[in-house]
Chains A and B, each alone.
Chain A
Amino acid sequence: MRINVLEGFRFIVQRCFVLYLCAGVILFLTIDSSVAQLNRLNHLKQFEHSVKSFEQGLTPFDVEEFRWTARYYKELLKFFSPNDLIYGNLGFCYFYLKDYTKAMEAYLAAIDLEQYFYVYYFDVGLIFLQSGDIKNALAFFDTALKLLPKTTAYYETLAERLPDKHKNMMGLTGLLKKRAGEDEAITYYYLGLVNFRLGDYPSAARHLNKAIELNPADISAYYHRGLVMEKLGNTKQHQFDFQKVKYLKSNGVEESPDRTKEFRPHLNTELVTLRYLIDRK
């Protein structure tokens, strides 16, 4: 009996699964999975600055950089609690990778988590605009405009909540507020343009008026308002707007050839930094 037990033990010990078990224990004891995950995330993050640089119009688009960065945001979502900013940034990557379905999914997930941040509505509006769904685009742009004051107030709160040692980062909130202001003007311009194409000239005029009020150097807004005024029979205003276009051009203000290219969705890296600094306080 004793011999049988010993033989049985020897048989078991001499099997490969013992080796696998030992390896499993060694791996379990030695691998710090959080460090491994961070290593991977840091590696994927390496192209985020290139994507940011593209968003700022400094470097050309590169599909590989966007793929890596989209993967980075996807993996971030696995390891951290759901975060609207990560979804938003993921949507940004998919937008440029021309995967509008996934971009929409990401933005809608961001909106689910944060319903008062104008940026996501703005970016969803842009996706609708790209796909020719004017009605939905208008609706999302409208919501974005309504939420803009709240977001601007939120940026101010962030600035106040920044820890003293990071007060030098307040410039970032200024940057975000500036961008919000630009977005507001651009959205009015777009609303004006879309209404003009839909033949709703009074609405188009109202929105373009607001766009010009927010950005008095917007050549395209003057140009399109001139066209709207022509349709409305307001010759005086029509001539004024076209003269204004000539005047601005002669003063070196450049007209963007295609405003849709200029109208970029948002990569919210500044906000990520600010929130991180505040949460870590």
Chain B
Amino acid sequence: MRIKEFFLSSLKFILPFILWLFLFKTFLLREATIFSENFSQYSIVKFYLDNLRLGVYPLWNPFILWGVPDTITLVNIGPFNPLWLLTLFLDTIGLDFYGAYLTTIIVYFFIGQIGFYLLAKTLLRDKVTAYAAFIMLTFSSISMSMFAQYIMMLLWVPSVWFFYFFISFLQTWQKRFFIGTIFSLMLILSTYLPFYFLTVFLIVILLFLFFYGRDFKGMVIGAGGFLRKNILLFAICLGAIGLSLFPTLQAYRATVEQEIVVPFRQIEKNAVLHQGVTLAKYAKTTDGAISARMFFDDLFSNLDQIEYGNDGFVYVSLFAYLVLGLSIFNRLTKRAALLFLLSLILFLISMTSATPVHPFLFKHVFFFKLFRNLHYLMPFLLSAFVLFVAEQLKLLMESKSTEQRLRWFWMGFALAVHAGAWVFLVTKENVIISSYLTIACSFLFFFCLFAGWIKNNGACIYFCLLAVIVLQPAQVLFGYNSQASYYASEIISQAIQVPPVTGKFSFLRPDFNQEQANMKLSTDPQNYFNSYRISMADSPGFFMPYEYGFPTFWSYYFSKNIPEEVVRQYSRYKILVYDEVKIIEKGQENLRGIADALRKDVHTAFVSSQPGGEEGQELSSLITKPDQGPDRRVMIISQPIPELSIKDFNVNSLIIETQFNTEKFLVYNDSFDRHWQAWINGEMTKIYRANLAFKGIKLPAGRNEVCLRYVPWGGIALYFFIFFVFAGMLIALVWQLSRGL
């Protein structure tokens, strides 16, 4: 008996997942590839895991934009999420990397959907309607956007689990739910921007206080009791949260202190160097989010023509709207009101400039200036909406009456609502056939339900719900995936075939010519940029028509203030050896003079200094002497030579061996960043900002081993430690959960 139950309860989840995989087979069979945005995440994952495989936690990426701190980029994927170890594992056991990545993101999506089912079950306290909610969400636009944009999923999955654990914790005060809440929170805080979650969480809290204010006191007492009993666990969890916030805060600090700049966030190009990460003007905040991605009519019309890559499209099975139609006479519960208002507020915020809500929040709530992709709220909006619909469905199912007169009323009402929906659809353009079929099946379902022919429990209702909910999405997703197969990017197709790489040092950077590249302007530049991350090969730098990424302040400054032909010529070479230096004090930079010197390859390097800085004294032996003629040229190293060779290289460090007869000044054309450290023959030495944007080191005469290493606060050890803390929390959670089974 138990085996049969287990089989049936497993089947009700396995079936929709199999159906989902079938509908998305174009991706699994590689007839369609991931879209640009997801490709960007893929490139970050690959770069990260390729380095982890080498035992290196990548803190710096020397291959793009002349070298950039990588920690801020890694935040995009939530690097401490143990999820990525699955990719590594699958790749190690023989799946190609792209296949391993696809499998991982699909598994994570399913994990999120299971979390949503549990959340719905906890909230609604009803298995059947929780299942309906699960099906509606699994076959909604959340899954559509997955191959186009994965950040949303990385934000949404832990958030769903957070709410599940949090609510369960408030209901039971059990340790396992507390650990689950903390672990989910850690994932949220270490992935992309936590402001989307924060917005949802704050709205939920406010609505909760409004509707359930009386219960709040009891919760505070319950929480107090739990903390007193588990003070050590609380302290550990608090520490873990602090650690998980560390990389995000570091990234934020780097932008505030302008170690890096964020070009794509600002309207005027010259503002990039002054405005930092905060969005100063509303216009740039958003492109319209959901209001830009669909018209109202798109909820019902043209569903066979949804553009692949439209990551903010809101779609849920027509069945949900039919339930809404039937629910107008339902009793209004507090839970329904809370969920409805949550959906409504999220919808209004997601409409950005089309309603006054988001402009108001942008002006008055500080953190709204720090995030701009409001369509990332779409999964949260859909989740709240689907939960509301499920609550209404539950009330409808409970409203079944034994009284014959009332039965007739409900059956007649079902007929009226479905007929109304049919008429409504007839007035719309290009309505897909499955919409009408859904209306017919939904009518049959409710007719039988109200007539008492379907029982509220038993396998039949699950099957009926699955069929009636999935009917329309099956056609929509089929059409969407067919559209996806038309999307072809040669750059992506080639890049996803790149096997794991180790990354090698090269003395030369490639050049790039936009006109010769024959690129599609819409997506190719972005894909081209990301492909260098995948292959761990030097990219040309700043010459691509692509403003994404987080360049260091000085590299960006250099690229924008020195003529392009000089930048092109100069930045091709990574290592230059000078005989002399010239100190330039802050505020006295003669950019034209520097550009001219770089153009002519003169033998003098320019070292930047604060007014009254010590650089002049430290480099006095190398400072330009007027009696030496201007004809001497800088030594440009384009390959290993007896005087200079590379001994060791990884993304975070470089070891150079040199042997010059006289004292020299070595310029490594990799972006200057104050967290880099250098040692010559084991003794720490200073790194100067040379030629405006790069690293410069004073080299003594004779044989030297120069070690350069990127050491941000805490260094690699801290990042690995955080990684293990996450893994430890997951193990603790699984252990606790298994004890509760």
Residue in A14, A30, A33, A71 with the greatest tally of chain B CB atoms within 10 Å: A30
Q: In the complex, A59 Cα to B517 Cα: how many Å?
A: 9
Q: In the complex, A20 Cα to B327 Cα: how many Å?
A: 10
Residue in A15, A40, A47 with the greatest tally of chain B CB atoms within 10 Å: A40
Q: In the complex, A281 Cα to B127 Cα: how many Å?
A: 64
Q: Is the CB of B392 within 8 A of A16?
A: yes
B291, CB-defined interface residue at 8 Å: yes
Name A35's contact: one of B291, B294, B392 (CB within 8 Å).
Answer: B291
Q: Is the CB of B336 within 8 A of A19?
A: yes
Q: In the complex, A26 Cα to B328 Cα: how many Å?
A: 18
Q: Is the CB of B328 within 8 A of A36?
A: no
Chain B residue at smallest Cβ distance from A39: B288
Q: In the complex, A176 Cα to B518 Cα: how many Å?
A: 25
A105, CB-defined interface residue at 8 Å: no
Q: Is the CB of A16 within 8 A of B520?
A: no
Q: In the complex, A31 Cα to B515 Cα: how many Å?
A: 44
Q: In the complex, A49 Cα to B392 Cα: how many Å?
A: 46
Q: Is the CB of A23 within 8 A of B295?
A: no
Residue in A15, A36, A67 with the greatest tally of chain B CB atoms within 10 Å: A36
Q: Is the CB of B355 within 8 A of A65?
A: no
B369, CB-defined interface residue at 8 Å: no
Chain B residue at smallest Cβ distance from A66: B486
Which residues of B are found within 8 Å of A19, using beta-carbon distances?
A: 332, 336-337, 340
Chain A residue at smallest Cβ distance from B336: A16
Name A43's contact: one of B292, B337, B520 (CB within 8 Å).
Answer: B292
Chain B residue at smallest Cβ distance from A64: B487
A32, CB-defined interface residue at 8 Å: yes
Chain A: minimal CB distance from B327 (Å): 5
B547, CB-defined interface residue at 8 Å: no
Q: Is the CB of A40 within 8 A of B293?
A: yes
Chain A: minimal CB distance from B285 (Å): 12
A62, CB-defined interface residue at 8 Å: yes
A47-B522, A59-B520 known; A16-B344 Cβ under 8 A = no
Q: Is the CB of B357 within 8 A of A15?
A: no
Name B354's contact: one of A17, A39, A67 (CB within 8 Å).
Answer: A39
Which residues of B are found within 8 Å of A65, using beta-carbon distances?
A: 520, 522
Which residues of B are found within 8 Å of A269, using beta-carbon distances?
A: none
Q: Is the CB of B328 within 8 A of A64?
A: no
Chain B positions 345 through 378: 1 when the CB is less than 8 Å from some CB of chain A, otherwise 0: 0001001111111000000000000000000000
Name A30's contact: one of B328, B355, B519, B521 (CB within 8 Å).
Answer: B355
A16-B328, A39-B352 known; A75-B344 Cβ under 8 A = no
A68, CB-defined interface residue at 8 Å: yes
Q: In the complex, A19 Cα to B292 Cα: how many Å?
A: 27
Stretch in B71-79, B168-176, B301-309, B413-421 touching the partner: B301-309
Which residues of B are found within 8 Å of A15, using beta-carbon distances?
A: 328-332
Residue in B291, B324, B357 with the greatest tally of chain A CB atoms within 10 Å: B291
B287, CB-defined interface residue at 8 Å: yes
Chain A residue at smallest Cβ distance from B348: A30
Name A39's contact: one of B287, B330, B348 (CB within 8 Å).
Answer: B287
Chain A positions 192 through 225: 1 when the CB is less than 8 Å from some CB of chain B, otherwise 0: 0000000000000000000000000000000000
A23-B344, A46-B522, A59-B518 known; A17-B357 Cβ under 8 A = no
Residue in A18, A27, A43, A65 with the greatest tally of chain B CB atoms within 10 Å: A43
Q: In the complex, A23 Cα to B131 Cα: how many Å?
A: 27
- Which range contains the number of B residues in contact with the other chain? 35 or more
Q: Is the CB of A31 within 8 A of B354?
A: yes
Chain A positions 49 through 86: 1 when the CB is less than 8 Å from some CB of chain B, otherwise 0: 11001000011101111011001000100000000000
Chain B positions 557 through 574: 1 when the CB is less than 8 Å from some CB of chain A, otherwise 0: 000000000000000000
Q: Is the CB of A31 within 8 A of B518?
A: no
Chain A: minimal CB distance from B480 (Å): 12
Chain A residue at smallest Cβ distance from B395: A16
Chain B: minimal CB distance from A145 (Å): 34
Chain B: minimal CB distance from A123 (Å): 24
Q: In the complex, A46 Cα to B520 Cα: how many Å?
A: 13
Q: Is the CB of B344 within 8 A of A39?
A: no
Chain B positions 290 through 332: 1 when the CB is less than 8 Å from some CB of chain A, otherwise 0: 0111110000000001011100000000000000100111111
Give residues of chain B (518-550) contacting chain A, Cβ–Cβ below 8 Å: 518-522
Name B330's contact: one of A16, A32, A50, A67 (CB within 8 Å).
Answer: A16
Chain B residue at smallest Cβ distance from A53: B521
Q: Is the CB of A36 within 8 A of B351?
A: yes
Chain A residue at smallest Cβ distance from B518: A60
Q: Is the CB of A42 within 8 A of B288?
A: yes
A31-B355, A43-B292, A75-B295 known; A50-B521 Cβ under 8 A = yes
A235, CB-defined interface residue at 8 Å: no
Q: Is the CB of B305 within 8 A of A30?
A: no
Q: In the complex, A67 Cα to B483 Cα: how many Å?
A: 10
A37, CB-defined interface residue at 8 Å: yes
Which residues of B are found within 8 Å of A47, using beta-carbon distances?
A: 522
Q: Is the CB of B351 within 8 A of A31?
A: yes
Q: In the complex, A75 Cα to B330 Cα: how many Å?
A: 38
Give residues of chain B (548-601) contacting chain A, Cβ–Cβ below 8 Å: none
Q: In the complex, A63 Cα to B340 Cα: how many Å?
A: 40
Chain B positions 681 through 703: 1 when the CB is less than 8 Å from some CB of chain A, otherwise 0: 00000000000000000000000
Q: Is the CB of A40 within 8 A of B522?
A: no
A63-B486, A64-B486, A65-B522 known; A39-B292 Cβ under 8 A = yes
Q: Is the CB of A18 within 8 A of B352?
A: no
Q: In the complex, A19 Cα to B330 Cα: how many Å?
A: 11
Q: Is the CB of B522 within 8 A of A62?
A: yes
Q: Is the CB of B330 within 8 A of A40?
A: no
Which residues of A are found within 8 Å of B352, using beta-carbon distances?
A: 39
Which residues of A are found within 8 Å of B294, using beta-carbon distances?
A: 40
- Sample of 7 further A-B pairs with CB below 8 A, known A31-B354, A36-B295, A64-B522: A16-B329, A16-B332, A18-B332, A39-B292, A39-B354, A59-B519, A63-B487
- 10 CB < 8 A contacts A-B: A16-B329, A17-B329, A31-B354, A36-B295, A40-B293, A47-B522, A60-B520, A62-B520, A65-B522, A67-B305
Which 8 pairs of residues, A with B, have the shortest CB-CB distance?
A: A39-B288, A43-B292, A36-B354, A17-B328, A39-B292, A36-B291, A39-B291, A30-B355
